[in-house]
A and B are shown apart, each in its own frame.
Chain A
C-alpha cells in the first residue's frame, strides 16, 4: 500500500521525525530523490548509510538508527498526509501542486505545507522584511510600502513576525482587490506565532497563503527561522529591507537572496539610528540598491508605477501654527513630550494638544510616550 502514496506523504512523515529540520531533509532528498525509498531506509535503520546524509544528520543519525526506528514505525505516512491535507495542504518538491516559484531553487524545501490559496503565488512577488524591534519610521514605511505594492498587484512576501514583517502585511491587506499577501512562517501551521499576530495571520490565510516547512504542532524554535528566511528569499523577485540593525534575521534573508541572485533593496535610515544600521551598511557596501518608495521597487520589477495612486494633494489636514511649530521641532529621532515643549517653548498642555491632533491627522506616529514625525507638509 506504501507504493500508492504520493511523495508528499513520505516527505511529511520524514519531517515529523525528531531532529529532522529543513536542511537535513534537503540532504536526505538529494541522496534518495525517491522519498518513499528514504522512508523505507528510515524504517530499516539504513537512513544514515550515505556519508553526505550522515554528515548532515550529525548526532541525530545514531538516534535514527536506534531509538528512532520504533518511533518511526508508529508513524503512518498515509495518516500524516491526511492530517496535513485536512489542515490545509501539502506538496513535495517532486510532486504535484508544488509552487513553480520554488521548483528551480538551489535548495528547494522538500515538503511545503500551506494554508489558504497556494495559487496566489503566481505573479510578481516582493519580500518586505526587517527587524521586530522597529521604530515608528520603519513601521510607517513598511505599511506604506506594503500598501503601494499591493495596489500595483504585487504579492507581498513576509514572515508575519512582529515589527516590519507584520506592518508590511497590514499595509497590503488594507488594499481591497490588491496583490494577495504571502507569509512564510517558522512554526507549524496550527501554532500561531507570535500570538499577537493571530488576527493578521487569519487575514493572510483568508486572502492569500501561509506557507511553512514545519509539520503541524511544530513549535517556533529558533533554528527554524534562518531556513524560513531562505524560503522568503527564494520566493521573492526582489527583497526589500525596511529597517535592520547591524545583525539580525533580515540579513540572513539578504544573504539567501544574494546566493540566488535575487536583487536586494534597502531603505536608508538616519545614520544615528541603530535600527537602520544594517540597511545603511548594505547601501554603503553597494550590496543593495536604494528603496525610497514603492516606485523604486516597481521599476526594478519592470512594472508600471502608474498603478500606485499618488495623485492629488496630501489628504491630511494642514497643521495650525502651534502644530506646525511642534512638527518643526522634531528631529530625525523620536522625541518625548517634554523635549518638544523645551524646543518650542510652548506649554506642556499646548504641546500635548498639538501632538494628539497631529497624530489623529497622520503627521506624527506615537508609541508609548514617544512621538515620531512621519511626514511634513509640502512647502
Chain B
C-alpha cells in the first residue's frame, strides 16, 4: 500500500526534485502531509480529495500519510497536487506502479479535477527525475523550453487517470498557434542630436559599464535609456535559460514558444520597496527587480526620488552579480548580473545643469545630493550630462544612426572582449587591464594630470581605463590606449554639476 511518485518544488529560482510517498494503512480515517509543506502545499489535502471524488475516482477511508522527500527542503505552492493524487491512485492499486515509473507530475488541481498552471515551470521541469513530464496544458509551452524532457500536456485529472490505467492514450495536444512576432524594440534613430549621450549608451552596451544620465526634465533621458536593451547582443543559450528561469519563477508571462533571447529591461517605479528590488517576501520568496533584470538592463528613472536605503541595497548585487536573501524561514540566492542605467535631475528644480540657472536653495541641493551615496555613485563608470536637444536638431536634424548599426559595433566590441577571456570589459581585473590596456605616453600624461588635480581617484582610474579600452574596441584600435580615448573616457565620467558641488 505504498506508492512513490516524482515531482519537484522550487527554492528561490532553482528547482529541487521531490519524491511524493503515499502510505495507506488501516486505522482511523486521517490524512497527514509531512516533509516541511507550506500552507498552500498542506491544503493539497482538500483539493486532492475533492478532485478525486468529483472525477469519480476512489478516496480511501483509511489512514493516509503523505511524505514529501527530502524532508529537509521546504515545499512551496500547489505544484505537488497532481503528484499526490496520482500517488493515491497507485497506493489504492487503481494504477500499476510501472505505469507511473519514470514520469514526473506537476500541477495544481481544481476541486473539479481540472489542472492549473503553477509558476516557475521552467525550473520545476528541469529538476524532474525521469524522462516524461506531465504538466498542465496551460504551462506546456513554458515546460517545453527545457530540453531533455518529453512533455505531456493535460487539462484534467481524468485524462491522467485513464492514460495511466491504460484505458486511453495520452491526449495529443493541439499544435499551438505560432506566436505573434515580438513588438519592435524602440530604435536609436528616433533620437536627434545628443552625440555624447548616444556615445555613452553605445559604450555602456559594449563594455557593460553602468551609466548615469543627469539632465533637466525633457532632455530625453528616459527615451535614451529605453533604447539601451536594443543595443545589447542577444543572449547566449545559457544566459537566456537563466533569465527565462527567473521570469518563470516570478510568474511573469513568457513568450510561448521561445526562451528570453533578448536582454530584458526592468524599470521599477521610484516608490519601490527594498524587498521588491532585491527579492524576498514572507510567505513565498520571489525574485526582485535586480534578478528580473539579470543579463539585461535595470533602469532607475528619477533616481533621486528612490529611498536612499533602496539604492544602497543595489551595491552588493552590483559587485557580486547575485543577491543572497536571508529570511527567518528560508535563504535564497538569486542571480542578478544587470546593467544599471540611472537617470536623474541635477537638482530638485531640474535646471541645475547650466551654472547659475538653478533656483534651489543650497540646503535643498545638498539634500538631493545625499540621495545618491558616494559608493553607489562610484560604481557608475559613465556619468554624463544630458542637455535638452537643440531646436535645430529636433526640427531639421538628420535621424540618428539606427540601433542595428550601433548594435553591430557593440557585438564586434564584445567579440574582442571575449578574446581577452571576459564577457565584457567591465569584468576585467586590474592585472588583466595592465596587460591588455597599457597607456600610451600621451594617455599617461592625461591620467597624471587628472590624478594630480584630484579629479580622479585610484579606483576611478581603473574604471576610466576600462571605458577607454571599450572606446578602443568600438573604434577598432589596437595597442596602447591613446590620449584621445583616455580623455574621452574621463569626460564621460564627469562629476555631474548638481552632484559634485559643495
Minimum CB distance partner of A368 in chain B? B497
Decide yes or no: A348 and B195 within 8 Å by CB, A135-B356, A369-B494 being known contacts. Answer: yes
Partner of A348, one of B453, B482, B488, B494: B488
Q: Which residues of the partner chain B approach A367 to less than 8 Å between Cβ atoms?
A: 355, 497, 500-501
B487 within 8 A of A: yes
Q: Which residue of A lies closest to B359 (CB)?
A: A274
Q: How many A-B residue pairs have CB under 8 A?
A: 96
Q: What B residues does A135 contact at CB under 8 A?
A: 355-356
Bitwise, B350-388 to A at CB < 8 A (1) or not (0) is 000111111000100000000000000000000011010
Looking across the interface, which residue of chain B has its beta carbon closest to that of A269? B356
A356: Cβ under 8 A from any B Cβ: yes
Question: What B residues does A132 contact at CB under 8 A?
Answer: 362
Q: How far is the CB of A351 from chain B (nearest CB, A)?
A: 8
CB distance from B190 to the nearest CB of A (A): 18
B53 to chain A, nearest CB (A): 72
Contact with A along B185-215 (1 / 0, CB 8 A): 0000000001111010000000000000000
Contact of B488 among A162, A245, A353 (CB under 8 A): A353
Using Cβ atoms and an 8 Å threshold, which residues of chain B touch A133?
A: 355-356, 358, 362
B450 on the interface (CB 8 Å rule)? yes
Q: Which of A183-191, A295-303, A333-341 lies at the interface with chain B?
A: A333-341
Judging by beta carbons under 8 Å apart, are A352 and B355 in contact?
no
Whether B385 contacts A368 by the Cβ 8 Å rule is yes
Is A353 within 8 A of B487, CB to CB?
A: yes
A352 touches B385 (CB 8 A): no
Task: Give the nearest-CB partner of B490 in chain A.
Answer: A356
Q: Is B316 an interface residue when CB atoms closer than 8 A count as contact?
A: no
Is there contact, CB below 8 Å, between B356 and A369? no
Closest residue of A by beta carbon distance from B495: A368
- Against A, the Cβ 8 Å flags (1 = close, 0 = not) of B376-406 are 0000000011010010000000000000000
- Place the interface of chain A in its size category: 20 to 34
169-219 of chain A: CB within 8 A of chain B: 194, 196
Interface residues of A in 116-145 (CB under 8 A from B): 132-133, 135-136
A338 near B196: Cβ-Cβ < 8 Å: yes
> CB within 8 A of A334: which of B354, B483, B484, B495?
B354
A369 touches B491 (CB 8 A): yes
Asked if B471 lies at the interface with its beta carbon under 8 angstroms from chain A, I say yes
Look across to chain B and name the residue whose beta carbon is closest to the beta carbon of A132: B362
Identify the closest chain B residue to A334 (Cβ): B355
User: Which of B196, B450, B471, B483 has the largest count of A CB atoms less than 10 A from its CB?
Assistant: B196
With most chain B CB atoms within 10 A of its CB, the pick from A245, A273, A274 is: A274
Residue of B390, B446, B487 with most chain A CB atoms under a 10 A cut-off:
B487
The interface on chain B, measured as residues whose beta carbon lies within 8 A of the other chain's beta carbons, has a size of 39
Task: Tell whether A332 is near chain B: CB-to-CB under 8 Å.
Answer: no
Look across to chain B and name the residue whose beta carbon is closest to the beta carbon of A136: B355
Residues of B within 8 A of A338 (CB): 194-197, 387
Among residues of B, the one whose C-beta sits closest to the C-beta of A162 is B502
Contact check: which of B199, B362, B449, B497 meets A369 at CB < 8 Å? B497
Q: Determine the distance from Cα of A348 to Cα of B453 in the docked complex, in whole angstroms.
A: 22
A339: chain B residues at CB < 8 Å are 387
The residue from B356, B446, B483, B501 contacting A274, defined by CB atoms under 8 A apart: B356
Chain B: CB-nearest residue to A336: B385
Q: Is A350 an interface residue (CB 8 A)?
A: yes
User: Of residues 265 to 297 in A, which have CB atoms within 8 Å of B's CB atoms?
Assistant: 273-275
Known: A338-B196, A367-B500, A370-B354. 16 other contacts (CB 8 A): A162-B502, A273-B356, A274-B357, A338-B194, A338-B197, A338-B387, A341-B195, A347-B484, A357-B446, A360-B449, A367-B497, A368-B495, A368-B497, A369-B384, A369-B494, A370-B355
**Residues of B at under 8 Å CB distance from A?**
194-197, 199, 353-358, 362, 384-385, 387, 390, 446, 449-450, 453, 471, 475, 482-485, 487-488, 490-491, 494-502
Task: List residues of chain A with CB under 8 Å of any chain B CB.
Answer: 132-133, 135-136, 162, 194, 196, 245, 273-275, 334, 336-339, 341-342, 347-350, 352-353, 355-357, 359-360, 367-370
Question: Could you jot down 27 A-B contacts, CB within 8 Å?
Answer: A133-B362, A135-B356, A136-B355, A336-B385, A338-B197, A341-B195, A341-B196, A348-B196, A348-B199, A348-B488, A349-B484, A349-B485, A349-B487, A349-B488, A350-B484, A353-B446, A353-B483, A353-B487, A356-B449, A356-B487, A360-B449, A367-B500, A367-B501, A368-B385, A368-B494, A368-B497, A369-B384
List the 9 closest pairs (A to B, CB-CB), nearest first.
Answer: A368-B497, A349-B484, A369-B494, A352-B487, A275-B356, A353-B487, A352-B488, A338-B196, A369-B385
